[in-house]
Copies of this chain bind each other. A is one copy, B any other.
């Protein structure tokens, strides 16, 4: 128990920094050409981060961000999270979005984060939690790949808690949802927030690390499998329209993006999630029985991808 209580924010931050390093290395190897460029930045008010951007052969535009920020809790966050307004906060995490060239390679997003609040008004003086998730946005949904993805996530969840996968899968379906389109962003994945239990801090962190460590092997396999598939101009055009939906989700609905922009976060690091190019056509229509129509029909909540 004493050992578990000792898990400090400094340790968590260090682990997240090495997670960023190892993911960048795996992605560079899988891409074969692109190399990450790093911008280190400082935050007015405390902390900073390392934003790493890749433009490669498989990945057209991708960001792997690490940050560790602290200071006075911004009022908007305090209100939204129902926390004492005079709190001090500490937040560290790794955030990833990758947009590939080839429409047969899916877009992916991953985030792991740790949040800590200090306030005289809290019972123990502090409060902490972990959050995170991985979700996949194929431009063309292929059942085999979707099952592969969800099976891998389920097996990570099952190592920790037999209820995690179903709970976090449903959470992802609800979170990564464009209500103005009545579409999920993609095939979902897992999403969790406010994971906290004073007796279980190390165990929860182990789970979060396992999610982080699973990212690179899962995605590089999808890169490897799909990167050489030929594609038509029509498929490229479809991809650019699906990226338009990705932009809509991130700018209209994504809470992380909203908080970041609202609270004077580093805009270029936050908006690294946007694709290099996106398209919008009024009333874009797909052909009956086409792969595009099949994909649209699968952008629904509550599909069971595990087998």
Contact = CB atoms under 8 A, between A and B. Distances in A.
Interface of A: 39, 51, 53, 61, 63, 179-181, 240, 244, 247-248, 251-252, 258, 261, 264, 267-268, 270-272, 274-283
Q: How many copies of this chain does the complex contain?
A: 2
Contacts of A39: 283
Contacts of A278: 247, 277-280
Nearest to A250: B251
20 contacts: A51-B282, A61-B281, A61-B282, A179-B261, A180-B261, A180-B264, A180-B267, A247-B247, A248-B271, A251-B251, A252-B252, A252-B258, A252-B261, A268-B282, A272-B282, A275-B280, A276-B279, A276-B280, A278-B278, A278-B280
A21 to B, nearest CB: 20
Given A247-B251, A271-B280, 15 more contacts: A39-B283, A51-B282, A53-B282, A61-B280, A61-B281, A180-B270, A248-B271, A251-B251, A252-B258, A268-B282, A275-B280, A276-B280, A276-B281, A277-B278, A278-B278
Contact of A277 (B240, B268, B271): B240
Contacts of A272: 282
Nearest to A55: B282
Q: Is the interface of A mostly helix, strand, loop or mixed?
A: mixed
A68 to B, nearest CB: 21
Contacts of A53: 282
A264 B280 CA distance: 20
A181 B264 CA distance: 10
Contacts of A244: 274
A277 B240 CA distance: 9
A42 to B, nearest CB: 16
A247 B248 CA distance: 9
Top-9 shortest CB links A-B: A251-B251, A274-B280, A180-B261, A53-B282, A180-B267, A251-B252, A277-B279, A268-B283, A272-B282
Contacts of A277: 240, 277-279
A224 to B, nearest CB: 25
A270 B283 CA distance: 12
Contacts of A282: 51, 53, 61, 63, 268, 272
A292 to B, nearest CB: 17
A272 to B, nearest CB: 6
A248 B279 CA distance: 14
A240 B275 CA distance: 13
Contacts of A267: 180-181
Nearest to A51: B282
A12 to B, nearest CB: 27
Contacts of A252: 251-252, 258, 261
A277 B282 CA distance: 12
